[in-house]
Chains A and B, each alone.
Chain A
């Protein structure tokens, strides 16, 4: 098995199995880099509502750099998760069943054995910035479990150090963390968001029990199957998350039937107002003649620029959070980055984003005169 531990290395035929495990790992390492590419193509396929022509238009105009940035921003939090999960499971296996920890045959063992401390530190820092507040107790749990397990592994004889890092530190951290998240947990109980309650309160308490070995017969099986389950579900989960991420800006465009240049400067008094269509769509491209838009049903609209009376950016729906819990002004679904960096003040909703023309203030409508 490429992912987990493969069994006792001393049994007969171990050499063959080592070779086959190696080959399996090489295949895995070949397939993994193709996954982001597959995600990007899937995203365009999803955006085009499975229409090949539309997808080709998208491929023609959507910048690869923009797509990669969207992918990176949306899934940045996955990198520390992978590093920390591998480090935690690998070290747990190493501490629990040292005789089954074979870097030659198990990718998990190899990754764990070669993972330098600073990478774990960097992963923790990155997670601190990019994980939502409600997942920070899980981060604390992972980080302290890795620290405790690594201490136990490296300093077998240093009882004081083990006592400090495997018992005292997790206990103190758990108490501090519980005190800090208590208001949020109470708010979550009031809002009946039980998953948030579990996410906030349980991980710090569990940390105390995660800094030592588990029964040695169970450890290889457990780590292996957890990794296999994660590896099998992760592509679907990441795909589901990335497919929801916006990659083109949502705008509302006011379209008139007569070109802007042909319309009289001053509206004729008493004349019926110009019929205006308001299109809510995503901008694919704007060139010197047309604005190419992708409407909500997935069809591409080419609008002549002189028919565009005005346009405005509309907010993205997907970003509206589910939770209402906040602690010390920090919303449960906000990351530390989002919390720290100033946010654009909320603006009054634009009627154009509700599909209504902006006609009570025609002066503010900016005609596109490219």
Chain B
């Protein structure tokens, strides 16, 4: 193959054969040279013109996080285990709150630069939360047991992140409730309280229960405890907190509804922020040393499980998150160390 074309024998036939073979070899080499030029062009394109995915810092800039003094997060304030405001200390606690700390830390916000604001269910799409002095402000993130549904995704100004918790709908009753509650149909004709905006409203309505809608789930539970309604239906993760709070009075029922409720973070119309939230969730899912999700689950939801049997509180594993296309430093992709400031200060 590497015989030079100029190599010629003495006899005419040999010469002919040699030159023919030589020209074929030269032709093959020409193809190789042209291919190597293609490689060279590819190299030039990759070094000079390649515009890969944005770097994390680009996303932060695009999301408007750079220069932002305070990250405002809309959370629930009346759901024990998920997000509850302690009126004495003015601090929030719960699974959603820990997830919010995690995301805020990954966005580069120290705990003192994060502000939680109570948000009502119907305001979660509008991202309007109220401040302590009664003003409504637009928050940056809504992490408020907000289930991802197609209907909500179609609303303008709603951009869901990847899910961070999977749970399902269930029913609680008072402990002394006599009848069986295996499906919603068992509650036909009974007064059942639910949230006015909740996704659990429609199956209950279909089952033919007498639906009482309230704005806050705590009002439903109060009504249940006051014997004004027979049952409360909404997400198991929310109800489990109340059952754990009043184990002597409430009981959780597994009603065998199939579709699961996936909680997502609403980032409004900010898609760069959505990508950053997904990046945080993806890191938490894939980095074995990042146990912030697991710790949040162990602290808030796992202890509620024994009193809530037979209904599972939530799926004890972080839902799948698709990989986010983002340029990162080699040590970040190699997961040499956990990123950012762990949210340890409460």
A356 pairs with B30, CB closer than 8 A = no
Residue of A nearest to B333 (CB): A324
Residue of A nearest to B113 (CB): A356
Is residue B196 within 8 Å, beta carbon to beta carbon, of the partner chain?
A: no
**Least Cβ distance of B42 to chain A in Å?**
5
Residue of B nearest to A240 (CB): B48
CB-based A-B contact count at 8 angstroms:
141
A206 pairs with B32, CB closer than 8 A = yes
A326 pairs with B26, CB closer than 8 A = no
In the complex, chain B residues 302-343 whose Cβ is within 8 Å of any chain A Cβ: 327-334, 336-337, 340-341
**Least Cβ distance of A269 to chain B in Å?**
17
Known: A138-B43, A206-B32, A320-B57. A349 touches B108 (CB 8 A): yes
| Binary flags per residue of B1-25, CB closer than 8 Å to A gives 1, else 0 | 1111110000000000000000101
A206 pairs with B35, CB closer than 8 A = yes
Known: A322-B52, A322-B327. A215 touches B23 (CB 8 A): yes
Is residue B36 within 8 Å, beta carbon to beta carbon, of the partner chain?
A: yes
Could you tell me the dominant secondary structure of chain B's interface residues?
helix
A356 to B112 alpha-carbon distance, docked (Å): 11
In the complex, chain B residues 220-253 whose Cβ is within 8 Å of any chain A Cβ: none
A210 pairs with B327, CB closer than 8 A = no
B46 pairs with A199, CB closer than 8 A = yes
| Binary flags per residue of B83-119, CB closer than 8 Å to A gives 1, else 0 | 0000000000000000000000000111011000000
A-B contact pairs, 24 of them (CB 8 A): A148-B2, A152-B4, A195-B50, A206-B35, A209-B29, A212-B4, A212-B25, A212-B26, A214-B30, A214-B33, A215-B30, A218-B30, A226-B37, A240-B49, A241-B48, A317-B57, A326-B330, A334-B330, A346-B331, A351-B109, A351-B110, A354-B67, A360-B110, A360-B112
Q: Which residues of A contact B (CB under 8 A)?
A: 92, 95-96, 134-135, 138, 141, 148, 152, 162-163, 166-167, 195-196, 198-199, 202-203, 206, 208-216, 218, 222, 226, 233, 237, 240-241, 278, 280, 315, 317, 320-322, 324, 326, 331, 334, 346, 348-349, 351, 354-357, 359-360
Q: Which residues of B contact A (CB under 8 A)?
A: 1-6, 23, 25-33, 35-37, 39-40, 42-50, 52-53, 55-58, 60, 65-69, 108-110, 112-113, 327-334, 336-337, 340-341
